């Protein structure tokens, strides 16, 4: 069992590079993992989307914020469901704090790729449970999260100067503007506290908890990365 390393500040990386993510240890080698609410947003804010293959630096923390905020614009969703959906959306990129930016490519071998997906899905469940959510969102929520994730990706590619394959989904109407890493980390953490409906101290206690969250299970459905 390995604790998440202490928070450290780092300079903003070059816009065409993907910074190395700080990882809390290999959850495949132990019985569980502790989730440090203070460290996660700083890892995400220091990690660039698409492995850094973009003209402008766009962090995973900003990506999660955009998806979470977009949930607020959707109609036909009850208040409590909206809050939980927005929290799910915010946490979608959180696995990068353990696994790095997997969008840079899964292992070539089929077995290795399947193992990496199962590991990521297990981390997803652990983070959701630590944040007070069910480990698996309902099927209809998964559809909503995928829809928002695809539209967010299309908007980010449009506004960040990303070449290559385009998504078939229409982009969000809003213009995506990057945030400096420290600002992105602070806004991500503030959004988590807002959606958790607790004071900052209470949220930290819930997330770090007493002991580790088991991440040995497999089989989660991924909404987006």
SS (HEC) of 15-46? CCCCCCCCCCCCHHHCCCECCCCCCHHHHHHC
pLDDT (average), residues 66-90? 95
**pLDDT grade, residue 15 (50/70/90)?**
very low
Using one digit for the tens of pLDDT, what is the confidence trace for 29-49? 334 666 777 789 999 999 999
Q: Is 222 exposed, middle or buried (0-12, 13-18, 19+ CB in 10 A)?
A: middle
Residue among 35, 56, 57 at smallest CA distance from 208: 35
Average pLDDT over the chain reads 76
pLDDT value for 33: 60
Q: What mean pLDDT comes out for the span 109-133?
A: 86
Give the percent of the chain with pLDDT over 90.
Answer: 47
Domain 33-208 has CATH 1.10.3210.10: yes
pLDDT tens digit string along 174-195? 999 999 999 999 999 999 999 9
Q: What is the CA radius of gyration of the chain?
A: 16
The Cα 26–Cα 218 span in angstroms is 15
The pLDDT, as a whole number, for residue 107 is 58
Residue 9 has pLDDT above 60, yes or no: no
Percent of the chain with pLDDT over 70: 66
Distance, in Å, from the CA atom of 115 to the CA atom of 57, rounded to the nearest integer, reads 29
CA–CA distance from 155 to each of 144, 173, 223, 224 (Å)?
Answer: 17, 8, 17, 15
The position carrying tokens 């990386």 is: 13
pLDDT tens per residue, range 97-113: 888 775 555 556 788 87
Q: Token pair of 78, please?
A: 């009850």
The confidence score (pLDDT) of residue 4 equals 34
pLDDT of 79 strictly over 70: yes
What pairs with residue 59 in β-bridges?
48
Which residue has tokens 């958790």? 196
Quote the tokens at residue 138: 């309902």
């Amino acid at each position: 069992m390995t604790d998440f390393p202490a928070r450290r500040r780092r300079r903003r990386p070059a816009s065409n590079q993907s910074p190395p993510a700080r990882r809390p240890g290999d959850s495949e080698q132990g019985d569980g993992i502790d989730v440090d609410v203070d460290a996660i947003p700083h890892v995400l804010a220091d990690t660039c989307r698409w492995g850094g293959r973009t003209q402008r630096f766009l962090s995973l923390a900003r990506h999660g914020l955009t998806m979470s905020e977009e949930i607020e614009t959707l109609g036909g969703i009850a208040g409590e469901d909206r809050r939980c959906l927005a929290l799910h959306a915010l946490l979608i990129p959180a696995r990068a704090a353990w696994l790095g930016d997997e969008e840079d490519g899964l292992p070539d071998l089929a077995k290795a790729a399947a193992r990496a997906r199962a590991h990521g899905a297990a981390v997803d469940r652990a983070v959701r449970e630590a944040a007070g959510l069910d480990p698996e969102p309902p099927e209809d929520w998964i559809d909503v999260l995928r829809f928002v994730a695809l539209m967010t990706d299309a908007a980010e590619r449009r506004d960040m100067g990303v070449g290559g394959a385009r998504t078939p989904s229409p982009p969000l109407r809003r213009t995506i503007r990057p945030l400096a890493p420290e600002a992105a980390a602070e806004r991500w953490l503030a959004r988590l506290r807002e959606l958790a409906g607790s004071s900052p101290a209470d949220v930290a206690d819930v997330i770090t908890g007493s002991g580790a969250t088991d991440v040995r299970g497999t089989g989660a459905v991924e909404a987006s990365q």
